Amino acid sequence: MLSPFMDPAGRRISYLRLSVTDRCDMRCLYCMSESMTFLPRDDVLDYDELLRLARVFVRQGVRRLRITGGEPLVRKDIGDFLLALRPLLGQAGEPTRLDEITLTTNGSRLVEFAGLLVRAGVRRVNVSLDSLDPARFAQVTRRGRLAATLDGIYAAREAGLAVRINTVAMAGVNDDEFDALLAWCGEIGADLCLIETMPMGETGDSRIARYLPLSDVRADLARRWTLEDIPDRTGGPARYVRVGETGQRLGFITPMSHNFCSTCNRVRLSCTGRLYTCLGQEDGADLRELLRAGADDAAVAQAIDQAIGRKSARHDFMLEPTSGRVAGPARHMSVTGG
């Protein structure tokens, strides 16, 4: 019998990414299709159900909680939910308490929510930003406004939140902007994390055409920047270097070119209550069905343990530019939770 939250590969699961909505005010090329059909409201867990599941996960051993979407800050009354999570935080290492609550956002509503996030105990946020050019930003997001996201980032920094900028590296789209992004992040005191595109769901844009191995990107950046390997980890899959010229960190998330599955410590809970034990696999558990059938917390915890006991050793993403082969889940990233 496996220990609670220990998977078959001996990895302890301590990190939950909890999606509160599949909806978003943008339609980024790598995440969603232009004309998305969103879930019916009744399919989405209410805040009481989400809070109950968060508590079960924490009691079972989760120590890091990231709130995701879609865009989490577009959900009605999200502020009340975030404040309700605050009591789950405790001192670092304290049993049955979270070490941290974080959030991933596109930044469009951070001006409104930055102060509340601090009151809810959030200390750092990841903000998706794929271009500093207004026209290109609009092209990638299909409807976003760069000014709104930048204002949100500045509001977050002013409120005292640590910010990491997440940039999906896309050949032929933003591959000429990485130097500018590094310099700008240095100016505002933010880390930058580059992410390889992943084949998840049909978005109307070619993943093969956009795929850019980050090993090539790093080698190119090292010609102009001093990149020092460091052991820093923030709970997720990013591998970091220190940028000598700015003092900030540069992260690389490489699901395609440099598999990081051996150190995976996370699972995802969709806004429908579907537990995904691997981003690139379909196996998991339907926790909503249990909740709405009247199951107690012990039964829910058992279902979570059983799902983690089946967690795959690695994902099955595939992008082969030479052969054109692409493999990945049919669901969109926005449905899974980022």
**Rounded distance, CA 18 to CA 267, Å?**
9
Contacts of 293 (CB under 8 A, 6+ apart): none
Determine whether the annotation assigns residue 193 to a binding site: no
pLDDT of residue 320: 58
Q: What proportion of the chain, given as a percentage, has pLDDT over 70?
A: 85
Asked whether residue 30 is marked as a ligand-binding residue, the answer is: yes
| Residue 2 confidence (pLDDT) | 41
**Is residue 268 annotated as involved in ligand binding?**
yes
H-run or E-run covering 240: strand 239-243
- 25-80: pLDDT as tens digits: 999 888 887 877 889 999 999 999 999 999 999 999 999 999 999 999 999 999 99
Check whether 3 is labelled as a binding-site residue: no
31 belongs to an annotated ligand binding site: yes
**Crossing angle (nearest 10°) for helices 178-188 and 214-221:** 70
Nearest to 333 by CA among 233, 165, 197, 148: 197
- Beta-sheet pairing, 239-243 with 227-229: antiparallel
Q: Check: CB of residue 316 under 8 Å from CB of residue 328.
A: yes
Query: At residue 232, what are phi and psi to the nearest 5 degrees?
Result: -55, 140
One digit per residue, pLDDT tens: the chain, 338 residues?
344 688 888 889 999 999 999 999 999 888 887 877 889 999 999 999 999 999 999 999 999 999 999 999 999 999 999 999 999 998 666 666 899 999 999 999 999 999 999 999 999 999 999 999 999 999 999 999 999 999 999 999 999 999 999 999 999 999 999 999 999 999 999 999 999 987 655 665 666 778 899 999 999 999 999 999 999 877 778 899 999 999 999 999 987 666 667 778 889 999 999 999 887 676 789 999 999 999 999 999 999 999 998 887 666 655 556 665 655 555 656 667 66
Q: How far apart are CA 301 and CA 286, in angstroms?
A: 12
pLDDT recorded at residue 198: 72
Q: Where do the DSSP E strands lie in 111-233?
A: 124-128, 162-169, 191-196, 227-229
264 annotated ligand binder:
yes
| Angle, alpha carbons 149-218-254 (nearest 5°) | 70
The answer to the question of whether 70 is labelled as a binding residue is yes
Q: Which residues neighbour 27 within 8 Å (Cβ) at sequence distance 6 or greater? A: 33, 34, 36, 141, 142, 143
Residue 8, CA atoms < 13 Å, CB-side half-sphere: 10
Confirm whether residue 19 is marked as ligand binding.
no
Q: Is 104 labelled as part of a ligand binding site?
A: yes
Q: Is 96 helix (H, G, I), strand (E, B) or coil?
A: coil
- 11: annotated binding-site residue? no
Q: In the chain, where are the structural domains located?
A: 15-336
Q: What is the pLDDT of residue 284?
A: 81
pLDDT of residue 326: 53
pTM of the model: 0.90
Residue 41 to residue 220: CA distance in whole angstroms: 46
Please check if 261 is assigned to a binding site.
yes
Q: Is the peptide bond before 70 cis (omega within 30 degrees of 0)?
A: yes
Residue 185 marked as a ligand binder: no
Asked whether 232 and 252 are in contact (CB, 8 A), the reply is no
Q: Is 149 annotated as a binding residue?
A: no
pLDDT of residue 46: 98
Is 52 annotated to bind ligand? no
Pairing status of strand 239-243 against strand 15-19? unpaired
Burial class (CB in 10 A: 0-12, 13-18, 19+), 99: middle
Of the options 3.40.190.10, 3.50.50.60, 3.20.20.70, 3.40.1180.10, the CATH number for the domain spanning 15-336? 3.20.20.70
Q: What is the pLDDT of residue 1?
A: 35
Residue 209: predicted pLDDT: 76
